[in-house]
Structure 1
């Protein structure tokens, strides 16, 4: 059976349009990530890209009770940061990498008077431990 995408919950903020994210959606996403358990869930899901993780695996990885995890996943999903898809009897959660890219763009859009390339952010990304190669296809790197 083909994996079906689930609508866990609707997004709380408007979707980013094209290459930009609205202030409202940026604030919702930042608020969702502004809690220790949720940022750990999100970082765990980024490390699990592109396969994603079932809720039980996430709970075990971060030491979070299942009922609390469900609440946190709902908040992240409403912010557009997490998606879910049914795989057989399991629901697999994934980080929405496109959303986090839009959020990063939202944060640095006005950097250096509208020229974020002057801040050499690409070098900072390459020095990070995410293992992302520059120029990697959008949506494929966690």
Structure 2
């Protein structure tokens, strides 16, 4: 991941509505949520929420698939993984044992 891609992803997640939506999508992997379900969870109007989805999609954090008449939104787990690795890759001057508590916490969930 490049600095520019990381900045785009972090900027997309730096808004409460988008962060909440992305976290909801991560929780509902691999089936995803319909756009309508996300709108209902957000409490916003469809048009306002669509703008937030567009920002997440532009940042590469979101995948949309059409199922019948519904659009299903899914978190791009590969993009999330890339962002997390980008942030932690050079952690602790190469001393992996210092990151083990973080990895253990992620593994438990």
CA RMSD of aligned residues (A): 1.3
Structure 1 segments unaligned to the other structure (5+ residues): 1-20, 132-142
1:69 to 28, 49, 57: 49
Using the size of structure 2 for normalisation, the TM-score is 0.92
Deviation track 1:60-79 (CA, whole Å, cap 9, x = no partner) reads: 12222211110000000000
- For 1:24 and 1:115, locate their aligned partners in 2 and report how far apart those are by CA, in whole Å: 26
Is 1:24 matched with 2:4? yes
CA offset at residue 123 of structure 1? 1.3
Q: Once structures 1 and 2 are overlaid, which stretch shifts more, 56-65 or 118-127?
A: 118-127
Structure 2 segments unaligned to the other structure (5+ residues): none
2:66 to 86, 107, 113: 86
- For 2:59 and 2:44, locate their aligned partners in 1 and report how far apart those are by CA, in whole Å: 20
SS of aligned partner of 2:72: strand
- For 1:116 and 1:60, locate their aligned partners in 2 and report how far apart those are by CA, in whole Å: 42
Is 1:111 matched with 2:91? yes
2:107 to 106, 116, 126: 126
Using the size of structure 1 for normalisation, the TM-score is 0.72
- For 2:74 and 2:65, locate their aligned partners in 1 and report how far apart those are by CA, in whole Å: 8
